[in-house]
Structures are given as C-alpha cells and as structure tokens.
Amino acid sequence: ILNFENLTSPYAFSNIITQDFRSESENCYKVIKESWQQIEDTAKRPKGLQQLRKSFKICRNYIDADALGGWLSTAYVYTAMTDYPTPSNFLSPLPAYPVKQMCKAIDDPATGNDSVAKLYGF
C-alpha cells in the first residue's frame, strides 16, 4: 500500500536492500557498488563479455552486461529478503544470515582487490 505514487520513494526497496548489506559490512557495500561500473566497463571492451563469462563461470555463449547485472541484482535481493537467523529453503537453499555469509566471502582478503573476483567468491 505504501508504494502508491507520492507516498514513498520509488527507490525505497532498493535502499533497504542496500542498507542490509551496508550494515553488515561497509567494504562489502563498496565492492558491490563499485562492481556495477566495473562490469559495465569490462563489457564494453573487446572480449570483455568473454572475460565476464569466464570470471563468473557462465556456460552460455552469450550474455550481456544487463543480463549479468540482472542475475546479480536478483541474488542480492533474494539474499536480503531471506536474511533469517536460521537456514532457509524459501527461494533457494541459503545458510543462516546469508547477507553476513555473502559479505564474509566478498570481504575475504584472498580474493584480492578486483571487485568482480570478490563477487564470484560468494
């Protein structure tokens, strides 16, 4: 009901998802935020889409930056929506506190400084 015009921001849902990750880890938030531009820039380079397919281990021969962004966005949204203190199978099998687990993987120093590599870590 709050999503009727002029009652709430059209970005409210996205802002809540963002805050869920940011409250878990400022670095995790920054990596995710910076990755959008990195993915877009990589996709524009010669063989950039091939590099993204390899980085994310995507087996389809064709995927564009928008499709990859959609997949990642869905992963973040579903993870935040099912951020329960117990494991769940609501949308897909997830551990307890999946945002914490995802950020833990993204924050792992073993993944280096590459935002895309950090995202694949989750």
Hunting for tokens 């950090």 — which residue is that? 118
pLDDT tens digits, residue range 47-76?
Answer: 999 888 888 888 777 778 888 899 999 999
Which domains can be identified in the chain, with CATH numbers? 12-120 (1.20.120.980)
Q: What is the mean pLDDT of the chain?
A: 87
Torsion sign, CA atoms 32, 34, 37, 42: negative
pLDDT tens digits, residue range 90-114?
Answer: 778 899 999 999 999 999 888 777 7
Phi-psi region of 25 (alpha: psi -120 to 50; beta: other; left: phi over 0): beta
pLDDT of residue 120: 67
Q: Find out whether 107 and 119 touch, Cβ atoms under 8 Å.
A: no
